[in-house]
Chain A
């Protein structure tokens, strides 16, 4: 593979790799990081330049690989004139900034971190300008937001740096997201995210109904990034960054990304009245506000920041005019602004570096301390002001010309040249202030340092940039013309229009505008003091940052409020929401289908016993709720509910379920009684009345809803798959008790899961209560002391007698389970009850001495047996838990059936016994380990 086929992605990615390298190099020597950074930038430049030849020949180079092609994302790069111009600006100015920063950073600043961030930022910028795929462009776009966050917050101990960085991230990040939305829609309209396709579909896009939305969303991205009104306010706060960062971000890169986007999408989006109004309007407003505010900034970098805003507005306004010639002027001014603004930021940095302040009220008369720097500053400022023979003059003339020709179009547009001239007047005034206030105007006022010239290499980047300003200003045809021509061709995607870079066009209206601006600008500067006073009194307090902060605080407050409203950490509230949601969902289902709630099956008659049971069930439930604050009473009534449920099972011929329900009931009640022992006998009233009424209403509605749902099922004919179970239970499952065969065979996995749940419950209780001890109450509810004899002999005797009997019943129930009501689960509960009674009657220590079994092991073995039964089947190539059975002939007993499922059931049995005993003993031990009781006894 020819390396020229992959050089564009390399140009972009090398700075990212270089960032890591620079951070690593800094471990050996501070300056090594700077050298690395410089080398990396040079390498990228070297990789880019060979392709530039083709670009100058008018070719567009595209290198593309599939990334996520199904969503239109390609790893695709593009080099045309526009991309080349920006890539060169980024790399060349980047190199100068690296050289400058090497001398700017002080000994306590980490060079490695700085250059790593700077290189990542450089890579992101190169990614933006060299992307062919718009989605990929967004990736790099957001990356510049992130890396500039790191750069701006470089001096992280400073509050203004942190806040400035966060503000920049919020604003440009928001814009990036809006732009993502716009690009997605744009790609949807075009059918591709590749720039080649998008740029060729201008007409299609502009006639699409989504055009305005796309335009607004993309412009939001552009305006936030390029600090256009009303999003301009983040830029001055980003000045908290080290000056090399400002020089880089605010001359050639970060803020130019938005401008780049305007140029890039110019053929696709421009040419409509929406474009003219939105882009032109924002540009004009920004131009004026920036130029005006810059004059009143006493901070050198503040002045430059607003001047940057103003010039960005100028470029935006040019694009807003929408004509090819305006685009030429815009591109030209991009180049010029990058050169003079980078040098001015560097000058500001030098002054700050050598004097210790940037306040123009203190900085005066520096000319004699640093004449070289002063000269550079004067030339660059003059370029900024648009003084003839400098590059700024040329593009400004073109700008005036465009403003004049735009004003021909419509009635009110005569305002445009006027406003533009006013902006130019301010521009001259603040440029003059930058020179006069700093280098003349008397003597410096208590500077922190004695000023002198900076190190030689710190000035070289400025020298070079100023040289470019001069060269372009005087010999445009021999310097800037070729690159300008290809850049314009790349922007417009056609042959550029005719334009002239000549210095002299005769006494045209634009020249007069320049002259007026220069004269009035000087005049304005002379009366500055009165203006400052007036500004101080009136407009000074208007700061968009205040609005931004108010919005942000409002957002945070709202967030707190909303979150508190929904999440009060209240279980009752959460439960109520769930119940309401379930009611709505259930009701919606019926409403949606417009089908009758009930079926047409004839209902059975009610017999008196069932009615009585039903009424009892309701009364018991209501009483449980009513008396819930007397815990013992409500628990007993709850027992009634359980009992009736098991009777209902009996009534509907489900003896297994009835047995299970009964034994579960016993175990649960014992468990809860043990728990109640540690709780107060009564609970205080916790909920206010309205809450209770709400809950009552919810309970009633839910009850009715569940009844209706049940009725809806019961009133329809039922055609389940259960016939299969009835038919196969004996011949293939080896048992006549279908319920048990379902549990241990047909749906054995369910049972396996449920015993795991039970085991988890037991182990969970154990883990939760381990090491915990609660003071046992010494008195009962009526204040009577508990009897000192904890273990009544009558109960002890009785339960010891009952133990073998109960265990025998458990074995019996277990063994007959497969054919008659019973099974491992019920048997396990019965055995557990038998053992628990021993603990209750004789105390834990006594029982444990006689039953030295680790119940954890019992649970483990139970799970082992149950799972093992299934694994055996797998061992002989049948699926997990496949059962088999056979008939054995035992002497005396006779014909005897053995199903493998009985082993599974044994596992169930052991888990049930083990888990139940673990939980209950643990609860019992809570007081057992409580010292006060044992002490009392002794």
Chain B
């Protein structure tokens, strides 16, 4: 039993309450702590990735209770990847926050931030359906707190929508988990998959119904059509598509008999519809942040399409795209913030304004990010889409998929060209406006994230081999089931 498996979950929790206890200390101390913990998390995540590379599942029995009775945490290549991505994102976001002193705007920023990481990592590592619910709640509350950070009327309104919609989601989650527990009598993911495969036929309706309800919950969290409506006011999570891969992929995998691939077509269809609507919304956006939010939605939709393809190589392609979209979307969010700061009172609105400081450099960075995000060559987005489309070649709906993916790409290109042209080309002669030049440290965080778009092209082969290996492990359900259900507890010596 390796303690390493649980470390990414515990570390942010410890960071969270330590920072709470340190709240009388100066912000400088808190920042140092927060950043230190995140750096440690990055190190651990790298360690996790190398450990997971062996291809074996590392199962951690929390409380030393045998699965399915206790709660298990499972380290596999997918969870290692997600923890690493999360840690890298956190590092960039924290650097940006410190550079712009965003944490001064309200209370408890660092506590909320660390506990959000606790929720994310927990959701990626857990092998228990109810425990996943708990971590989603942690995530929800923490991100709600962060969403409200800094206050203001718009934020409060967006935050309210976010929390209400997600509470509806939580309720549905409970319905679904309750029904699944009622149908098969267990909460452990592996055990549940095993029991579903053996379930008597008369229970299939119940299981299918609960499974699809659960899909609705993840879809809502992933902002899938028609559940995405709250997104423009908030932001998206990649945790939900991963949850679909993990939970639905395991429960309704090959072994589930008549229930196999129950969710696949739903995911594909919603992904396609979401992509179209997201692309239209990107065109219709009135400000850069809104546009970025919808671009992120478009990439989530692309992920869903990838999951819904369910062909040879499609999962590996999806994961490749996931790495790209997670990091680039974050970079674009931060970049949009940088640009709005540079435009003073014009903020991110799509109106002609005086040129921002260092317009040529920021403009070049924007163009780079836009190319990556819209999936144009020669950056990572294109290769992700290429791999996805390549795996779609054998799909019966190939023409629909091609049409939707390619046409939406075109819409994104048109929209981004308009946005860039307006923000950086159609500038007004400078008046005496007070704008601050971009912060170097903050910008370096953006550039570091963006560099991934180039690195993933240069190292496309090893990267793709990695995602292939992750996908392969993910699709080998029986190995997962065996690993989880047969890990022994540590025998206790009888106390005197």
Contact = CB atoms under 8 A, between A and B. Distances in A.
B410 interface: yes
Contact of A71 (B230, B387, B413): B387
A209 to B, nearest CB: 13
A748 B461 contact: no
Given A72-B390, A140-B377, A574-B161, A761 B141 contact: yes
A185 B393 contact: yes
A70 B277 contact: no
Contacts of A750: 71, 130-131, 134
Contacts of B409: 177
B169 A767 contact: no
Nearest to B17: A863
B137 A753 contact: yes
Interface string B381-414: 0110011011101000001001000110111011
B432 interface: no
B209 A590 contact: yes
A393 B373 CA distance: 48
A468 interface: no
Interface stretch (B78-86, B173-181, B299-307): B173-181
A589 B208 contact: yes
A746 B187 CA distance: 12
A153 interface: yes
B26 interface: no
B contact face: mostly helix, strand, loop, or mixed:
helix
Given A71-B387, A188-B393, A597 B461 contact: no
A716 B204 CA distance: 12
B102 to A, nearest CB: 13
A109 interface: no
B226 A581 contact: yes
A592 B208 contact: yes
B213 A593 contact: no
Contacts of B461: 66-69
Given A185-B393, A756-B13, A767-B112, A712 B205 contact: yes
Interface stretch (A371-379, A552-560, A777-785): A552-560
B425 A567 contact: no
Interface in B441-474: 460-461, 464-465, 468
Nearest to A865: B17
A562 interface: yes
Interface string B215-236: 1100110000011011011000
B189 interface: no
B206 A713 contact: yes
Interface in B228-283: 229-230, 232-233, 258-259, 262, 266, 277, 280-281, 283
B13 A863 contact: yes
A920 interface: no
Contact of A767 (B60, B145, B233): B145
Contact of B281 (A149, A559, A599, A761): A559
Contact of B418 (A166, A746, A756): A166
Interface in A775-795: none
Nearest to B212: A585
Interface stretch (A41-49, A689-697, A875-883, A929-937): A875-883
Contacts of B10: 867, 870-871, 880
A857 B16 CA distance: 12
B308 interface: no
A767 B426 contact: no
Contacts of A559: 280-281, 283-284, 411
Interface in B36-69: 60-65, 68-69
B345 interface: no
B118 interface: yes
Given A71-B313, A763-B112, A153 B421 contact: yes
Interface stretch (A167-175, A382-390, A524-532, A839-847): A167-175
Contacts of A562: 277, 280-281, 284
Contact of A153 (B172, B227, B425, B468): B425
B138 A756 contact: yes
A864 interface: yes
B165 A878 contact: no
A644 interface: no
A12 to B, nearest CB: 12
Contact of A593 (B122, B169, B204): B204
Interface residues on A, range: 35 or more
Interface stretch (A347-355, A676-684, A720-728): A720-728
B376 to A, nearest CB: 6
B206 A716 contact: yes
B70 interface: yes
B190 interface: no
A567 B60 contact: no
B186 interface: yes
A211 to B, nearest CB: 15
Contacts of A113: 360
Given A585-B215, A713-B179, A879-B1, A577 B226 contact: yes
Report whether over half of chain A's contact residues are helix, strand or loop; otherwise say mixed. helix
Give the most central of A73, A169, A749, A754: most B CB within 10 Å: A749
Nearest to A708: B209
Contact of B371 (A146, A558, A585): A146
Given A178-B406, A718-B185, A747-B71, A582 B209 contact: no
A809 interface: no
A859 interface: yes
A506 interface: no
A716 B183 contact: yes
A575 interface: yes
A638 interface: no
B131 A753 contact: yes
Contact of B402 (A68, A181, A595, A770): A181
A608 interface: no
Contacts of B207: 589
A580 B383 CA distance: 37
Contact of A746 (B69, B106, B172): B69
Contacts of A170: 410, 413-414, 417
Contact of A166 (B62, B119, B417): B417
Contact of B205 (A593, A728, A873): A593
Given A157-B425, A713-B179, A763-B111, 20 more contacts: A67-B460, A149-B417, A153-B421, A181-B402, A562-B277, A564-B284, A581-B227, A588-B209, A589-B211, A746-B65, A747-B131, A748-B63, A749-B62, A756-B13, A756-B115, A763-B20, A767-B145, A860-B20, A879-B63, A884-B495
The 8 closest A-B pairs by CB, nearest first: A589-B209, A713-B182, A589-B208, A720-B185, A753-B134, A595-B205, A574-B229, A860-B20
16 contacts: A156-B424, A173-B410, A184-B390, A187-B390, A585-B216, A586-B212, A589-B211, A595-B203, A713-B182, A718-B185, A745-B63, A754-B137, A760-B142, A772-B151, A870-B10, A884-B495
Interface of A: 66-73, 113, 135, 138-143, 146, 149, 153, 156-157, 159, 162, 165-166, 169-170, 173-174, 177-178, 180-181, 184-185, 187-188, 213, 552, 555-556, 558-560, 562-564, 566-567, 569, 571, 573-575, 577-582, 585-590, 592-597, 599, 706, 709, 712-714, 716, 718-721, 724-725, 728, 745-750, 752-754, 756-757, 759-761, 763-764, 766-768, 770-772, 856-857, 859-861, 863-864, 867, 870-871, 873-874, 877-884, 886
